[in-house]
Amino acid sequence: MDAAANAEKIAVSGFRHFFDTEDGPVQATGVVDLKIRAGEFVTLVGPSGCGKTTLLKAMAGFIRPTEGTIHCDGKLVTKPGRERGVVFQELAILPWRTVRRNIGHGLEIAGVPKVEREEKVTRLIDLIGLGGFEDRYPHELSGGMRQRVAVARTWAADPDVILMDEPFAAVDAMTRLTLQEELGRLCVATRKTVFFITHSVDEAVFLGDRVLVMTRRPGTIKAEIDIPRRAAGGRDWESFTTDVEMQGIAERVLKLVRAERGLTPAEEARAAAGAGA
Amino acid sequence: MSLVSVQHAPAARPIPVPTGWAVAARQLRSVKILFPFIVLVAIWWAIQAAGNFPDRVLVSPQRVFDTMVLLISRGVIAEYVSTSLKIIGIATAISIVVGVPIGFAVGANRYAARSLEGFLRFLQGVSGIAWLPLIIIWFGFTHATTLAVVVYTLIVPIIFNTMIGTRAIPEHYGLALRSLGAARLRLITDVYLPGALPSIVVGLRLGMGYGWRALIAAEMLVRQGGLGDLIFGARTSGQIDRIIGGMIIIGTLYLLIDRMLVQPIENLTIARWGVLRK
Amino acid sequence: MSVQAAPIATTSTARRALGRLAWTLVPAAPFVIVTLIWIMATGILNPSKETLPPVTDVLASIKELALSGQLATNVVASLYRLLLGSILGIVTGLIGGVIVGLNRKLAESLNPVVVFFNAISGIVWLPLMITWLGIGNALAVFLIWNTVFFIVFQNAALGVQLVPEVYEQGVRALGGGRWQTMRSVILPGALPYILTGIRTGLGFGWRALIAAELVGAATGLGTMIFDAAEYHRSDIIVAGCLIIGVIAIVMDRWLLLPIERRTVRRWGLVADTEKE
Ligand SMILES: Nc1ncnc2c1ncn2[C@@H]1O[C@H](COP(=O)(O)OP(=O)(O)OP(=O)(O)O)[C@@H](O)[C@H]1O
Ligand SMILES: [Mg+2]
């Protein structure tokens, strides 16, 4: 399997997308080229509305690209598939299913026998710290708990690739730290290929093997920063915040993102002048 | 309930209290519910006693009560009631089986939804009872005629609300399931049906409210049994006691259907999932 | 399909114009389809005129009814009853609803009676009221009043109950008295519900009226179609039904909905005006 580890898992080439609306076509992204290796954790940051979700939805197979192609394992992506799991920006677990039945939903669809399913689900519930809440409905959980259920549901179906769209945006700061550490560990352990969208530069640098920065709408990828593999086994916030090199990288990424706040160069100049006066 | 915007919040579950108290509290509650009715009956009695009306105009509550007891004990009421219930039952079943799939199909496409919306509103504007004369020409004075009128009335809100409910389901619920490998049938059973259910139940409730009235009205004109026939027939023979007794039964029965059939569905599913607002 | 860099702008403008056209025309589609089926059914099955009158007959009878003045007489008779009954229903319903809405104890104790009488509102009263009032305007007006009253009543009561207490306290804190609070807080706050109640009530009132007129009146659209049935004039029945539907739609879409929307939207109050 190690030979395949460096193989190309996802290839996006010449991708560009327009939405057809009542008021004419809206360009959602610029041209995007992107390759993700198997087992790689790629994070994407960029200003709001630059087309991150659009790119992810195309990779998931929900929308047909207006231009360009997306391949997964060498096969052209035309529709959603079980090998590409998605965690949505909006909460997408079903309100009419209990925690247990939500997490086991993918397995149920795949026809996994009940006993096996229950076993796996129970293990995952323990892992995400929701023991005791198995039979609650989503509306009885906190926002953070719901998001954990959403991640666990995708995880349970055991996809090769996981596409995540700001999964922790709605989670409180403390819980978020734990979830990020857990996710990092889990991904290293299971060698999943992950594409992860976020607004938080720290999160992107902390989790990613590689950070992509997008320009404002219509977004293209303007920079790629490789994050050196951390020495001692991984990602924990304590070592991250004390690691000078990491902090340096984070600062660099932040500068790149700041430059895309959504102002035109002229406006930027005026704003700077205003601040100076 | 025939209203649009009056929605009952799911009743809070009573906190378990020592039994003696609970019983007393419940008795107090039922007295409270009955009290306004007792006042009404008292007023009625007073008017009747004071006015010295002929029997063709107003009779005493006692008379109505006696008549109801007589009709019930002779099994006469049971026959009228079962005729009405059978028709509303069949009409409801037909409307659900036909209306819900139509609602889904139409709700899945915004052009279809828009096109059907105006048409459904038009149909609702022409009440089912207005078509009655034509339907009588088609089917004669039969139960089929009554059934047609009731289905016409009942099915529109069901289609309409299924459509609205389907369109209100967040898109990413379906997307998430598709990325878990779900096929179309699975999407219907796991996302669209439960997702639209609150709205379907609202439609069912409205529909039964409209349908029940259409049923009574149609029965008055078709005259082939049923509660509408009971009260309208009693009019020709001037039996006020039967008319008022029939009205009481019609109201009670409707409330029973609504409270015992439709509300429990609502409480069991919708309230439990926390999808109902407020 | 997706690989080629298609000339997006041009195809889209054309497609958009087409889409817009489709969007505006699409509500007519079911009517057109039903009419076509109707024409085809009369052409192919060749039913007797009583079973299914041809489209042309129905149009002709609409014209005939209009020219003879019969249509105007009946429409005016129906609308007059609707107006009278609705005004009574709205006024009494509003007064009752606001009083009950302001007084929680009263609301609670009256609730069972309201629920019960609502369950038998409208047409159920027909036999009793024919006995008491005889056939004619009074009967129809009573049935409409009875229908409209409960809907306006319940919506007004709910609307008043749902006005956030902070608004009320705000006016009180400014030194407003009871009447002032009522005028500047409670009534405007409850208005969306009240308007929805009136609009829904009129819809129900119209339907109740037609039912009442089938047996309980000497003129009106309901009477017109019921009389036509005696002579097996299906063309008049269908014509009458179409006119009834058109009046209902015109009343709702072009008269009541705009009033409701304008007031409610302008204040930024959101009510479920679209739900039926
Ligand atoms: N279904 C749609 N129809 C029309 N335009 C859309 C649609 N979805 C997205 N857009 C537009 O495309 C652009 C990119 O949207 P996208 O959701 O990909 O942004 P994003 O980068 O994910 O933003 P955020 O960080 O706020 O989630 C936006 O300008 C948006 O308005
Ligand atoms: Mg997004």
Is 70 exceeded by the pLDDT of residue A233?
A: no
Chain B residue numbers touching C27 (CB-CB < 8 A): 114-115, 117-119
Interchain CB distance below 8 Å, C128 and B244: yes
Count of other CB atoms within 10 angstroms of residue B120: 19
The confidence band for C260, taking pLDDT boundaries of 50, 70 and 90, is confident
Average model confidence (pLDDT) across chain A: 85
* Pair (C98, C191) in one structural domain: yes
Task: Looking at the structure, tell me whether residues C137 and C263 fall in a common domain.
Answer: yes
Residue in the structure block whose two tokens are 């099955």: C45
Task: Please give the domain boundaries of chain B with CATH numbers for all domains.
Answer: 56-272 (1.10.3720.10)
Q: Closest partner residue to B274 among A88, A137, A157, by Cβ? A: A137
A51 ligand 1 Cβ < 6 A: yes
Asked if B138 is an interface residue toward chain C (Cβ–Cβ < 8 A), one would say yes
- Amino acid making up residue C75: V
Count of domains in chain C? 2
Chain mean pLDDT for chain C: 85
A25/C8 Cβ within 8 A? yes
Task: Give the distance from residue A147's alpha carbon to the nearest chain B alpha carbon, in angstroms.
Answer: 13
Residues 22-41 of A with CB under 8 A from C: 22-25
Question: Model ipTM?
Answer: 0.85
Sign (positive or negative) of CA dihedral B96, B102, B103, B104: positive
Torsion sign (Cα): C23, C27, C33, C36: negative
- C217-238 pLDDT, tens digit per residue, is 889 999 999 999 988 899 999 9
Same domain for C101 and C123?
Answer: yes
- At C149, which CATH number? 1.10.3720.10
pLDDT of A119? 94
- Whether the per-residue pLDDT at A216 is higher than 90: the answer is no
pLDDT in tens, A53-99: 999 999 999 999 999 999 999 999 998 989 999 998 888 899 899 99
Mean pLDDT value across residues C229-256: 91
Q: Which residue has the higher pLDDT, B13 or A103?
A: A103
pLDDT at residue B248 is higher than 80: yes
Vertex A117: Cα angle to A116 and A120 (nearest 5) = 85
Size of interface A-B (CB pairs under 8 A): 73
Q: Are residues C42 and C61 in the same domain?
A: no
Question: Which of A141 and C262 is assigned the larger pLDDT?
Answer: A141
pLDDT at B22: 62
Of residues B132, B123, B126, B186, the one with CA closest to residue B155: B123
pLDDT digits (tens, 9 = 90+) for B72-123: 999 889 999 999 999 999 999 999 999 999 999 888 888 888 888 889 989 9
pLDDT of C182 over the 80 cut: no
Looking at the structure, tell me whether residues C27 and C76 fall in a common domain: no
Average model confidence (pLDDT) for chain B?
85
Give the whole-angstrom CA distance, residue C268 versus residue C273.
13
What residue of A is the nearest CA neighbor of C9?
A: A25
Using the predicted structure, report yes or no on whether residue A1 has a pLDDT greater than 60. no
The answer to whether residue C63 scores a pLDDT higher than 90 is yes
Note down the domain range covering C226: 53-275
C28 and C63 in a common domain:
no
Domain match, C73 and C149 both: yes
Bond into C30 cis (ω within 30): no
Q: Are residues C227 and C204 in the same domain?
A: yes
Can you tell me which atom of ligand 1 is nearest the CA of A47? 25
B213 interaction partners in chain C (CB closer than 8 Å): 122-124
Q: How far apart are CA C167 and CA C176, in angstroms?
A: 12
Distance A198 CA to ligand 2 centre (A): 9
Same domain, C248 and C171: yes
- Among partner residues B170, B178, B182, which is closest to A90 by beta-carbon distance? B170
Question: Is the pLDDT reported for residue A35 higher than 90?
Answer: yes
Q: Closest Cα to atom 10, ligand 1: which residue?
A: A28
Q: Is C95 found in the same domain as C62?
A: yes
Task: Indicate whether residue A200 lines ligand 1 (CB < 6 A).
Answer: no
What is the least distance, in Å, from the CA of A133 to any CA of chain B? Answer: 15
Residue C135 amino acid letter:
I
Ligand 1, atom 19, residue with closest C-alpha: A49
Q: Is C267 a residue whose pLDDT tops 90?
A: no
Q: In a 3-state reduction of DSSP, which class is residue C271?
A: coil
pLDDT for residue B207 is more than 80: yes
Residue C98's alpha-carbon distances to A61, B4, B80, B95, C266, in angstroms, are 55, 18, 39, 37, 23
- The partner residues of A212 in beta bridges, in order of sequence, read A44, A224
pLDDT tens string A88-131: 888 889 989 999 999 999 999 999 999 999 999 999 998 888 88
Task: Tell me, using a 6 A CB cutoff, whether residue A48 lines ligand 1.
Answer: yes
Q: Give the model's confidence band at B1: pLDDT under 50 very low, under 70 low, under 90 confident, else very high.
A: very low
Residue A274 pLDDT: 52
Q: Do B232 and C128 touch (CB under 8 A)?
A: no
Residue C7's pLDDT is 43
Chain C residues in contact with chain A using a Cβ-Cβ cutoff of 8 Å: 1-6, 8-9, 12-13, 15-16, 19-20
Q: Are residues C224 and C131 in the same domain?
A: yes
Residue C138 has a pLDDT of 93
Contact at CB, C2 and A20, closer than 8 angstroms? no
What distance in Å separates the CA atoms of residue A194 and residue C26, rounded to the nearest whole number?
44
3-state secondary structure of C173: helix
Give me ligand 1 centre to Cα C13, in Å.
21
User: Average of pLDDT values for A227-234?
Assistant: 62
The token pair that represents B45 in the structure block: 């009695």
Residues C91 and C1 in one domain: no
User: What are all long-range contacts of A138-143, with beta carbons under 8 Å and residues at least 24 apart?
Assistant: A138/A91, A138/A93, A138/A94, A138/A95, A138/A97, A138/A99, A138/A102, A138/B274, A139/A95, A139/B273, A139/B274, A139/B275, A140/B274, A141/A99, A143/A91, A143/A170, A143/A171, A143/A172
pLDDT at A101: 93
